[in-house]
Structure 1
């Protein structure tokens, strides 16, 4: 009787050990799959981040802030941020009653005002304007003078037509 109890205990202990071995082995395989998946995700994220950084650099190519040659024109003026200064001066033209004087169209829904500004270099600006429903773009030439006055000249313009 004693030997049968030991035999049953031995078989029971062997089954528990086998269960633990199989269970641990399955857990290790699952963890390995998870690690491989995470490594693949990290590699994809690195590629995506690198692509985003390259795209951002490409978008900044035509920008006064990143153009040292164009910024050199303003060294003598001691402006901390010439781009912000010129943008503010352009937005000041919106403060007049009625349409912005630089926009050669009359507002249809309300007054045309400049919304978005992109300084390309030390001479040119691309600006977006809208009256709330209709919109267009301007290509402007500007000159920042020594007395910090800014002259704007419209080079070209367009108004998008709505197609319904």
Structure 2
């Protein structure tokens, strides 16, 4: 009787060990497939990130912040951030009552005001304007003087046709 109990215990322990081995093996295969899937996803995300970084570098190509030769024009002025200074001066033209004086159109749904600005270099900038419903773009030549005054000259403009 004692021998049969030990035999049953041995068989039971062997079955538990076999079950543990199989389930651990399946768990390991599952983890390995998850790891492989995650590696593939990480590689795809890294490629996407690299493409995004290249796109950002492309967009920043025409930018005063990344143009050392153009920034050299402002070394003597001791401006911490010339781009921000120029943008602020241009946005100050919005404070006048009515349309912005640089926008050559009369607002149809309100006053045309400048919204977005992209300073290209030490001479030119692009600006977006809108009255809330209609919008357009401006190419502006500017000159930052030694007394920190900024003169803006409209070079070209475009008003987009509104499509319903």
Band of TM-score, shorter chain: over 0.9
Q: Residue 62 of structure 1: SS of its match in structure 2?
A: coil
Residue 110 of structure 2 corresponds to 110
User: Which runs of no fewer than 5 residues in structure 1 stay unpaired?
Assistant: none
Q: What is the deviation of 1:40? A: 1.6
CA–CA separation in structure 2 for the residues paired with 1:54 and 1:61: 11
**Is structure 2 residue 139 aligned with structure 1 residue 142?**
no
Alignment of structure 1 residues 41-52 onto 2, 5 Å = 41-52=41-52
Alpha-carbon displacement from aligned partner over 1:108-138 (angstroms, at most 9, x marks no partner): 0110000000000001110000001100000
Residue 25 of structure 1 corresponds to 25
CA–CA separation in structure 2 for the residues paired with 1:3 and 1:148: 102
Q: What is the deviation of 1:14? A: 1.5
CA–CA separation in structure 1 for the residues paired with 2:28 and 2:76: 67
CA–CA separation in structure 1 for the residues paired with 2:16 and 2:147: 89
Alignment of structure 1 residues 13-162 onto 2, 5 Å = 13-162=13-162
CA–CA separation in structure 2 for the residues paired with 1:64 and 1:151: 17
RMSD: 1.1
Q: Residue 102 of structure 1: SS of its match in structure 2?
A: coil
CA–CA separation in structure 2 for the residues paired with 1:163 and 1:42: 42
Q: Residue 29 of structure 2: SS of its match in structure 1?
A: helix
Q: What is the deviation of 1:9? A: 2.1
Q: Residue 152 of structure 2: SS of its match in structure 1?
A: strand
Q: TM-score, normalised by structure 2?
A: 0.95
Q: What is the deviation of 1:84? A: 0.9
Q: TM-score, normalised by structure 1?
A: 0.95
CA–CA separation in structure 2 for the residues paired with 1:82 and 1:10: 83
CA–CA separation in structure 1 for the residues paired with 2:63 and 2:86: 13
